[in-house]
Structure formats: C-alpha cells, structure tokens
Amino acid sequence: MDRNEAIQLIRGHVKGEFLFKHMLATEAIMRATARELGEDEEAWGMAGLCHDIDFEETKENVGEHGLIAQKHLAGKLPEASLRAIEDHSYFLRGAPEPTDRMSIALLAADAITGLIIAAALVKPDKKLSSVTTESVANAFKKKGFAAGSNREQIKRMESAGMKLERFYEISLKAMQGIAGELGL
C-alpha cells in the first residue's frame, strides 16, 4: 500500500481532524527518526501514519486498540510496521514493553507530538516555527505541561540509540516541515 492508499483507508476510519493531523505528525517524526537511525523510512513512516487508524473504533474497548488496526492493515504493511502499531498500545492490554527500535520509536513519536503542539500553542502566534528545541526540552521538564505526553515513552528513545535532545530536534523539525498540513 502506498501513502495515498493509506490516507484513503485512514479517511474511511478516522473522522476527527485533530486525530488525523496527529497521525501525520507521527508519520513525519517516524520518517525523520528512521533516516537518522539508518532504518527503513517507508516502513517506519507508514507505521506512524497508520498507528491510530482504529482509535475512534476502540474508544469503548481500548484493549483492542492496535489489534483492530492490524485487521484493517493486514497484508498492506510490512510485518515490522504491523508489530509496531500493535506494540504502541501494549500498556492497554498489559502486554510486555516492546524492545525493538521501530516500536520504541513509535511510542516516543506518538507521545512527543502532543508536547510539541502544546509548546506551539503557548506561543503568541501559535506556530510551530516559533518553537525551538530548547523550548521542547523545557516543556518536557514541566511535568504538568502537556500532561498526556508520556515522558517515559519519549525517554525510551535513548534505548533505541538516540540522545533525547537529538530526538527533540528531529521531531520538531519534522513537524515544522509539515506545519501547513497541521495548521500550525
């Protein structure tokens, strides 16, 4: 499945514009992270793009999040991407923490999007272009700021071979690169 087909499939399952934009941001971060780590950019990007395809369907049964996505995406994405999508919601099912790089990166990318968006929204112009890597690092340190952004998942990038400060920088630049699509 190519990116355009993936977006069509997602649009059939995701009605919320905020969720769709979150998926675009996660894709951008995953692609940039894959490039940095010398991994398969397409497989990582598609995992980021499709990771929440079942989010709206599983609101009433969160333990199914990631599993229903697998059904929608079976045979359309590489196995590693499907595994990362399932793994990104491991804690909802009480499954063991994932240990492979793509799954860890997806957990971190999923979490950092909210932190970066919140950092943009407190700027006077509410634009990603006004956010700096330093402001992302400062936001990360403020526990009550963007409280839904799981700092522990973001920190796990270090176990995947990337310093936290570099992950902030890569993530911010990736999101700034699609700021128009995100409306920020």
pLDDT (tens digit per residue) in 99-145: 999 999 999 999 999 999 999 999 999 999 999 999 999 999 998 99
Mean pLDDT of 138-153: 96
Instruction: Give one word for 145, left, alpha or beta, with left for phi > 0 and alpha for psi -120 to 50.
Output: beta
pLDDT in tens, 48-97: 999 999 999 999 999 999 999 999 999 999 999 999 999 999 999 999 99
Give CA–CA dist 176/116, Å, rounded: 10
pLDDT of residue 74: 96
Q: Provide the pLDDT for residue 55.
A: 98
Mean pLDDT, range 136-159, rounded to an integer: 96
pLDDT of residue 103: 98
User: What is the structure's pLDDT at 75?
Assistant: 97
Domains of the chain in start order, with CATH, are 3-182 (1.10.3210)
Q: Which residues contact 59 (CB under 8 A, 6 or more apart)?
A: none
**Cα dist from 120 to 18, 39, 173, whole Å:** 15, 29, 13
Q: How confident is the model at residue 9 (pLDDT cuts 50, 70, 90)?
A: very high
pLDDT bin (cut points 50, 70, 90) of residue 166 is very high
pTM: 0.97
pLDDT at residue 70, as a whole number: 92
Q: What is the pLDDT of residue 6?
A: 98
What pLDDT is attached to residue 38? 98
Q: Supply the pLDDT for residue 141.
A: 96
- Return the pLDDT at 184: 97
Listed residue (81, 67, 69) closest to 27, CA to CA:
81
What's residue 56's pLDDT?
98
174: how many CB neighbours lie within 10 A of its CB?
Answer: 24
**pLDDT of the residue at 140:** 97
